[in-house]
Amino acid sequence: MSKSISGFSKLSKAQKINWVVETYFTNKDIAKNVLKQYWNSDEKLQQLHDEFIENTITNYYLPFGIAPNFLINGKLYTIPMAIEESSVIAAASKASKFWLDRGGFKATVISTTKVGQVHFIYQGDFETLKAYFNFIKPRLINAVKPITKNMEQRGGGIIDIELKDKTNDLKEYYQLHAIFETLDAMGANFINSCLEQFAETFKHEALKFEQFTNVEKDIKIIMSILSNYVPDCLVKAEVSCKVEDLNEDKGISPEEFAAKFIQAVNIAEVEPYRAVTHNKGIMNGVDAVVLATGNDFRAIEAGAHAYASQNGKYSSLTHAKIDNDIFTFWMEIPLALGTVGGLTNLHPLVKLALEMLGSPNAKELMQIVAVAGLAQNFAALRSLITTGIQQGHMKMHLLNILNQFEANDNEKTTLIEHFKTNAATHNAVVEALEKLRLTNNN
Ligand code: MEV
């Protein structure tokens, strides 16, 4: 039985490790060694990682790979991706090469605003609340000047604050719904700081508003927080070419390929079970770049899936059509990303990733990330409607299986060669490895 502990965060790193090892592990030396194996020998770098979060006991590595040949709006990029899934970078690289030969990707930022809300309870007349809101709005904006000054100098800040009556959804529930432009910052801290100040001023000044009754003066702030739903921070990525240029080497004609591809997208548009997996494939590309560039992939995931349900039913984020023999495949996706602040100028690998991308601003990064998502979806659908997904997946997964069975370099080389022409199922790989070892031992 594990035991609870109080004051854990105040223990030293060594004490925390001792506690966890003593509490949970039979072989304490092995557990300690595994944790220590991942420490960085550069103490300053390790301390930086220790201080990102509370109670750090080690680092968790993810592979950091690159996908070259992404032509986006005429500019060539090598895209950094942090991801554990074996086939993702290979798929991205295949898609980038495919479209490099067909004019590349086009990407456009449609909008860049973000939302934050003060949620509150008010018991009284809505007209009086409206009068109070109109009276207080300039003061709300004024009260956050110390927070917004720098952002305003750069051209961002508060775009608007609206009062929303939500009482049809929940008794006595209203909102201050604020719209922000945070430029190259993701803006979470900026937005939340503004919202908390709005809330304080809004509540405090209500006490002095003469048109309010005593009950009306007692505005109850429930919470102040940004929204990760950002349908107005939207980017579009697309590819197009003549249908005849979709020359496939996978045994089907370009026309059949285009028709099947569009049907596959149409299925994801109407069928939520498929749409979730379809969009998961898009997020394979999106999240990997978001993570490599130090952005918050949970926020991006939440916002993207909400957007995929914007019409009341979960649907595909990508779309495809043929018009006048031109095949077009595109996606609109909300992406609240930052290229300054947060981890971006703190984490050495994030800094490197951004430099590799040519130090993009937030708009350019939105375009790159959207393209990575579209490319990933293209690669997945291309496999699904031709060879099936497992052929490529198992080829990429082969090394994981071989590593699991501690294959040496010679065994890996032989079996990688063998599975170029044989189906690489888990059992087949294990059997082939056993057979090879038997032959080598005889
Ligand atoms: C696997 O990570 C992603 C796919 O399932 C996406 C899809 O089905 O479109 C291959």
91 and 13, same domain (yes or no) = no
Q: How does 265-289 read in b/e, with b if 16+ C-beta sit within 10 Å?
A: beebbeeeebbeebbebbbbbbbbb
Domain end marker among 170, 196, 226: 226
145 and 157, same domain (yes or no) = yes
What would the mean pLDDT of 123-131 be, rounded to a whole number?
A: 98
In a domain, 2, yes or no: no
Protein residue closest via CA to atom 4 of ligand 1: 281
Position 423 scores a pLDDT of 82
Tens of pLDDT, residue by residue over 226-238, are 999 999 999 999 9
How do strand 75-82 and strand 64-72 relate by DSSP bridges? antiparallel
Domain end marker among 226, 246, 275: 226
| Cα radius of gyration rounded to whole Å, the chain | 27
Place 212 in a pLDDT band, splitting at 50, 70 and 90.
very high
Given a cut of 70, whether residue 134 has pLDDT beyond it is: yes
- Output the CA 279–ligand 1 centroid distance in Å: 8
Element (H, E) at 223: strand 220-226
The DSSP symbol for 54 reads: S
Coil vs helix vs strand at 71: strand
246 and 345, same domain (yes or no) = yes
Which structure tokens are listed for 256?
């059949």
Q: Are 365 and 404 in contact (CB under 8 A)?
A: no
147 and 80, same domain (yes or no) = no
Ligand 1 contact, 88 CB (< 6 A):
no
Q: Are 315 and 345 in contact (CB under 8 A)?
A: no
pTM: 0.92
201 and 220, same domain (yes or no) = yes
Pocket test residue of 267, 280, 283, 387 for ligand 1, highest count of atoms within 8 A of CB: 280
242 and 220, same domain (yes or no) = no
Tens of pLDDT, residue by residue over 45-65, are 999 999 999 999 999 999 999
Given a cut of 80, whether residue 395 has pLDDT beyond it is: no
Coil vs helix vs strand at 165: strand
Element (H, E) at 161: strand 157-165
In a domain, 432, yes or no: yes
In a domain, 55, yes or no: no
Look up 280 and say whether it is catalytic: yes
In a domain, 59, yes or no: no
356 and 412, same domain (yes or no) = no
What would the mean pLDDT of 213-234 be, rounded to a whole number?
A: 98
* CATH code of 222's domain: 3.30.70.420
In a domain, 3, yes or no: no
Q: Are 148 and 216 in contact (CB under 8 A)?
A: no
Domain count, the chain: 4
Closest atom, ligand 1, to C-alpha of 383: 10
Ligand 1 contact, 217 CB (< 6 A):
no
Catalytic option among 16, 319, 393, 418: 393
* CATH code of 249's domain: 3.90.770.10
220 and 202, same domain (yes or no) = yes
Q: Give 149's contacts (C-beta < 8 A, 6+ positions apart).
A: none
Q: How far is Cα 53 from Cα 150, in angstroms, rounded to an integer?
A: 28
- DSSP secondary structure string, 279-337? HHHHHHHHHHHHHHTT--HHHHHHHHHHHHTTTSS---SEEEEEETTEEEEEEEEE---
Ligand 1 contact, 389 CB (< 6 A):
yes
Coil vs helix vs strand at 83: coil
Q: Are 293 and 337 in contact (CB under 8 A)?
A: yes
In a domain, 184, yes or no: yes
Domain end marker among 175, 204, 226: 226
Position 1 scores a pLDDT of 62
268 and 357, same domain (yes or no) = yes
207 and 314, same domain (yes or no) = no
Q: How far is Cα 433 from Cα 398, in angstroms, rounded to an integer?
A: 11
Tens of pLDDT, residue by residue over 326-336, are 999 999 999 99
Q: How far is Cα 305 from Cα 310, in angstroms, rounded to an integer?
A: 9
259 and 136, same domain (yes or no) = no
In a domain, 396, yes or no: yes
- Output the CA 380–ligand 1 centroid distance in Å: 6
Closest atom, ligand 1, to C-alpha of 87: 2
In a domain, 187, yes or no: yes
As a whole number of Å, the end-to-end CA separation of the chain is: 49
Pocket test residue of 389, 391, 397 for ligand 1, highest count of atoms within 8 A of CB: 389
Q: How far is Cα 140 from Cα 36, in angstroms, rounded to an integer?
A: 50
Given a cut of 90, whether residue 390 has pLDDT beyond it is: no
Residue of higher predicted confidence among 392 and 126: 126
Domain interval for residue 203? 114-226
291 and 336, same domain (yes or no) = yes
